[in-house]
A and B are shown apart, each in its own frame.
Chain A
Amino acid sequence: MNHGDIYVRGWGAVTSLGWSAPDSARNLIAGNAPPAAAGVSSHLINREYKAFEVPYSGNPLDKSMAMLERALAEAFSRAELSAEEIAESSVLVGTTGGLFIRNEYEFTEAVRKNPDNQSPAISCRNRGPGEVADLIINKYGIRGMALTFSMACVSSSHALVVAADLLKRGKIRRAIVVGFEPLLNMTLHGFASLLLFDYDQCRPFCATRAGMQIGEASAVVIMDTEESSAASAKYKFTGGYLYNDIKSMTSAGIDGVTVSEVVQQTLTSARMSAGDVVAIKAHGTGTRDNDLSEGRGLVKLFGKNLPPVVSLKGAIGHTLGAAGAVETAVWLSCCEEGFIPRSFGFTEIDPEIGFAPSQKNIAARDGAYLFTFFGFGGTCTSYLIIKE
Chain B
Amino acid sequence: MPVIAASYIGPSLTPNRDALWEESKLPLNPDDLVNEIMGQPMRRAGRFIKMVCCGGIACLQKVSLGYLKGKKVGIFLSTGLGNVDEIMPFITQVFKHGGGFPSPNQFANSVSNAAAFVLARICEVTGTVLTISQEELSFESALWLALSYLESGEIELALVGGCDIFTPTVEEYRERVNLTPENSHSMPMGEGSSWLLLGKDKENYIGNILAVDFGNKIISPEEFSASENILSQSEKLIPADSAWQKKKRFLLPGFRLNKIDSDFWKLKGWEVDDYLPYCGIHSTAAAFGIARALREIPAALFVHYNCHASGKQALVVASTK
What is the interface of chain A, defined by CB distance below 8 A to chain B? Answer: 45, 96, 100, 103-104, 107-108, 118-119, 121-131, 133-134, 137-138, 141, 143, 145-152, 158, 162, 165-166, 169, 171, 185-186, 189-191, 193-195, 242-246, 249-250, 375-379
**Could you tell me which residues of chain B, from 162 to 205, have a CB within 8 Å of some CB in chain A?**
167, 172, 175-178
Nearest chain B CB to A193's CB is how many angstroms away?
4
Q: Are the CB atoms of B84 and A124 closer together than 8 Å?
A: yes
Nearest chain A CB to B126's CB is how many angstroms away?
5
Q: Are the CB atoms of A145 and B214 closer together than 8 Å?
A: yes
Q: Are the CB atoms of A376 and B131 closer together than 8 Å?
A: no
Q: Are the CB atoms of A171 and B135 closer together than 8 Å?
A: no
Given A129-B133, A130-B134, decide whether A378 and B91 contact each other with a Cβ distance below 8 A.
no
Nearest chain A CB to B206's CB is how many angstroms away?
26
B244 at the interface (CB under 8 A from A): no
Q: Which residues of B contact A104 (CB under 8 A)?
A: 91
Q: Are the CB atoms of A194 and B104 closer together than 8 Å?
A: yes
Q: Which residues of A contact B214 (CB under 8 A)?
A: 145
Q: Are the CB atoms of A245 and B177 closer together than 8 Å?
A: no
Interface stretch of the complex, out of B1-9, B22-30, B140-148, B255-263? B140-148
Interface stretch of the complex, out of B55-63, B108-116, B228-236, B272-280? B108-116
Q: Which residues of B contact A123 (CB under 8 A)?
A: 172
Nearest chain B CB to A245's CB is how many angstroms away?
7
Q: Are the CB atoms of B87 and A151 closer together than 8 Å?
A: no
Residue of A nearest to B100 (CB): A189
What separation, in Å, do the CA atoms of A141 and B149 have in the docked complex? 27
Q: Are the CB atoms of B126 and A246 closer together than 8 Å?
A: yes
Q: Are the CB atoms of B113 and A186 closer together than 8 Å?
A: no
Select the residue from A103, A119, A146, A244 with max chain B CB neighbours within 10 A: A244
Residue of B nearest to A245 (CB): B126
Q: Which of A119, A122, A130, A250 contacts B80 (CB 8 A)?
A: A130
Select the residue from A127, A166, A191 with max chain B CB neighbours within 10 A: A127
Q: Which residues of A contact B32 (CB under 8 A)?
A: none
Given A127-B81, A134-B135, A193-B103, decide whether A118 and B97 contact each other with a Cβ distance below 8 A.
yes
| 22 sample A-B contacts, Cβ–Cβ < 8 Å, listed by A number | A119-B95, A128-B283, A130-B134, A145-B214, A146-B134, A147-B134, A148-B134, A150-B79, A150-B112, A165-B149, A190-B102, A193-B104, A242-B128, A242-B129, A243-B127, A244-B120, A246-B124, A246-B126, A249-B117, A250-B108, A377-B113, A378-B120
Q: Are the CB atoms of A169 and B152 closer together than 8 Å?
A: yes
Given A128-B82, A186-B87, decide whether A244 and B127 contact each other with a Cβ distance below 8 A.
yes
Q: Which residues of B contact A45 (CB under 8 A)?
A: 94-95
Q: Which residues of A contact B310 (CB under 8 A)?
A: 134, 137-138
Q: Please list the 4 inter-chain residue pairs (A to B) with the smallest Cβ-Cβ separation, ordered nearest first.
A: A190-B107, A377-B117, A150-B112, A244-B129
Nearest chain A CB to B311's CB is how many angstroms away?
9
Q: Are the CB atoms of B92 and A121 closer together than 8 Å?
A: yes
B250 at the interface (CB under 8 A from A): no
What is the interface of chain B, defined by CB distance below 8 A to chain A? Answer: 79-82, 84, 87-88, 90-92, 94-97, 102-104, 107-108, 110-114, 116-117, 120-121, 124-135, 137-138, 141, 144-145, 148-149, 151-152, 154, 167, 172, 175-178, 214, 216-218, 283, 308, 310, 312
Number of A-B contacts (CB under 8 A): 175
Q: Which residues of A contact B81 (CB under 8 A)?
A: 127-128
What separation, in Å, do the CA atoms of A63 and B122 have in the docked complex? 41
Given A122-B95, A125-B176, A194-B107, decide whether A133 and B134 contact each other with a Cβ distance below 8 A.
yes
Given A122-B92, A128-B82, A128-B176, decide whether A143 and B128 contact each other with a Cβ distance below 8 A.
no
What separation, in Å, do the CA atoms of A191 and B90 have in the docked complex? 12
Q: Which residues of A contact B124 (CB under 8 A)?
A: 246
What separation, in Å, do the CA atoms of A301 and B245 have in the docked complex? 57
What separation, in Å, do the CA atoms of A128 and B85 have in the docked complex? 12
Q: Which residues of A contact B116 (CB under 8 A)?
A: 151, 377
Given A124-B172, A128-B283, A169-B148, decide whether A149 and B216 contact each other with a Cβ distance below 8 A.
no
Q: Which residues of A contact B137 (CB under 8 A)?
A: 146
Q: Are the CB atoms of A122 and B91 closer together than 8 Å?
A: yes
Q: Are the CB atoms of B135 and A152 closer together than 8 Å?
A: no
Residue of B nearest to A191 (CB): B107
Nearest chain A CB to B178's CB is how many angstroms away?
6
Q: Which of A131, A145, A162 contacts B135 (CB 8 A)?
A: A131
What separation, in Å, do the CA atoms of A195 and B96 have in the docked complex? 20
Q: Are the CB atoms of B133 and A143 closer together than 8 Å?
A: no
Nearest chain A CB to B167's CB is how many angstroms away?
8
Nearest chain B CB to A211's CB is how many angstroms away?
13
Q: Are the CB atoms of B120 and A150 closer together than 8 Å?
A: no
Given A138-B310, A145-B141, A246-B121, decide whether A127 and B135 contact each other with a Cβ distance below 8 A.
yes
